[in-house]
């Protein structure tokens, strides 16, 4: 036989002998079992040391801005459809400048003034069975882990904080000056709230997480209520100022009309059966002032009514598709997944150890 036809094994190839692998596993099976059990026990311990968090979700559908009118939307033609497929809302982008787009809602909720107002809202503490401020609830220790290994001492953290003492009258009223304790409270509250916006449908999802299921539902509902109030206040601010201005002018016009009418009636009572032209001219003058005051009052009354109608039209409507619910199950941690993950990690680590013990590295690297 020609030796050139015999296939020589490639020295760069590594052949796997499964019999040797099985033999090594049987030889170190106690080591594999010990490492796997150890990792699994650590996974169980880790999962039991984590606090249980509960999530509550609210689904909200805001009113679509209709300031464009039918002609503008129809003039977009097929471009609007193509933009919709790409996830772009042209109607929202072309809306009036006084309208807050849903994409801005997360920035509003994460702003310090919004969080400050939210932190002062009352919530019901299920463990203590009483209402308290949300900020007071965040200050206290609410750990609910079965095994408190990573428990935080919030009282020590508060005592270690050093605030900057600023004299009164130095800062402008528009500036925000908060303590480090309040900063930590707002940061923790900010991390517990997540807002997701669907660009195609403008559907808004508000998710609030907390260590207490009732608190998480309260936070989600409070964010919904406060955000809705903020948007309505912003959209109707100009119309409300106009209405308040007209109401004040209407009240002033009513006083002038009543005063002019009282002056005319008093003059007529004091000048009965008077035939002097001077007296008649004075009566006509007073009657003219009454008519003028009545016309001004009547005109302002009509404008006030129109302003009320305009305010009602400017008030946006929010449809709550799914209100906040008290969660029945915790959202995290997934203790079973953590335990299974630790088990596989321990098994993989044990096999790696067995591999390096049973394989001759000199022969492998030669």
Q: Is the pLDDT of residue 21 over 90?
A: no
* 136-151 per-position pLDDT tens digit: 998 888 777 777 776 6
* 168-187 per-position pLDDT tens digit: 666 666 677 788 888 889 99
Q: Which of 47-51, 70-74, 77-81, 350-354 has the lowest mean pLDDT?
A: 70-74
Backbone angles phi, psi at 233, to 5 degrees: -65, -40
229-238, Cβ contacts within 8 angstroms, sequence gap of 24 or more: 230/108, 230/114, 231/62, 231/100, 231/316, 231/318, 232/315, 232/316, 234/100, 235/98, 235/99, 235/100, 235/314, 235/315, 235/316, 236/311, 236/314, 236/315, 238/98, 238/314
Q: Is the pLDDT of residue 68 over 80?
A: no
**76 or 322: which carries more pLDDT confidence?**
322
Q: Is the pLDDT of residue 9 over 70?
A: no
Share of the chain above pLDDT 70, in %: 73
Q: Where are the domains of the chain?
A: 17-49+337-365, 54-236+315-330, 240-313
> For residues 359, 360, 364 and 365, what is the CA-based torsion angle, rounded to 10 degrees?
130
Q: Please state the rounded mean pLDDT for residues 61-83.
A: 50
d(CA 358, CA 305): 92
**112 or 101: which carries more pLDDT confidence?**
112
* Cis amide leading into 10 (omega within 30): no
Give the per-residue pLDDT at 344. 92
Q: Which of 16-25, 61-70, 73-82 has the lowest mean pLDDT?
A: 73-82
Q: Is the pLDDT of residue 74 over 70?
A: no
For residue 293, give every residue at least 6 positions away whose Cβ sits within 8 Å of its Cβ, in sequence order, or none: 253, 256, 257, 259, 260, 261
């Amino acid at each position: 036989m020609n030796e050139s036809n015999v296939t020589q094994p490639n020295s760069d190839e590594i052949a796997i002998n499964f019999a040797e692998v099985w033999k090594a596993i049987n030889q170190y099976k106690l080591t594999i079992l010990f490492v796997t059990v150890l990792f699994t026990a650590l996974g169980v311990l880790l999962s039991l040391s984590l606090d249980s968090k509960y999530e509550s979700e609210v689904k909200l559908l805001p009113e679509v801005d209709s300031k464009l009118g039918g002609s503008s939307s129809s003039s977009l033609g097929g471009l609007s459809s193509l933009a919709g497929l790409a996830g772009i809302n042209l109607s929202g982008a072309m809306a009036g400048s006084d309208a807050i787009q849903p994409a801005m809602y997360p920035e509003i909720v994460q702003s310090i003034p919004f969080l400050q107002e939210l932190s002062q809202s009352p919530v019901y503490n299920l463990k203590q069975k009483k209402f308290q401020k949300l900020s007071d609830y965040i200050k206290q220790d609410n750990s609910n882990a079965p095994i408190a290994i990573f428990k935080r001492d919030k009282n020590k953290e508060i005592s270690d904080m050093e605030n900057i003492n600023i004299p009164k009258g130095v800062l402008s009223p528009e500036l925000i000056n908060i303590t480090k304790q309040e900063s930590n409270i707002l940061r923790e509250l900010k991390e517990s709230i997540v807002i997701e916006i669907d660009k195609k449908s403008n559907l808004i999802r508000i998710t609030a997480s907390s260590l207490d299921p009732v608190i998480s539902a309260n936070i989600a509902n409070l964010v919904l209520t406060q955000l809705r109030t903020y948007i309505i206040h912003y959209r109707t601010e100009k119309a409300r100022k106009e209405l308040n201005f007209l109401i004040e002018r209407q009240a002033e016009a009513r006083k002038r009309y009543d005063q002019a009418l009282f002056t005319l009636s008093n003059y007529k009572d004091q000048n009965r059966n008077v035939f002097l032209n001077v007296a008649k001219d004075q009566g006509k003058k007073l009657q003219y002032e009454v008519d003028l005051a009545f016309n001004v009052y009547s005109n302002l009354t009509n404008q006030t009514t129109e302003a009320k109608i305009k305010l009602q039209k400017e008030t946006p409507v929010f449809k709550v598709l799914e209100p906040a619910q008290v969660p029945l199950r915790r959202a995290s941690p997934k203790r079973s997944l953590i335990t299974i993950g630790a088990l596989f990690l321990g098994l993989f680590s044990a096999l790696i150890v067995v591999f390096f013990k049973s394989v001759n590295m000199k022969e492998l690297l030669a």
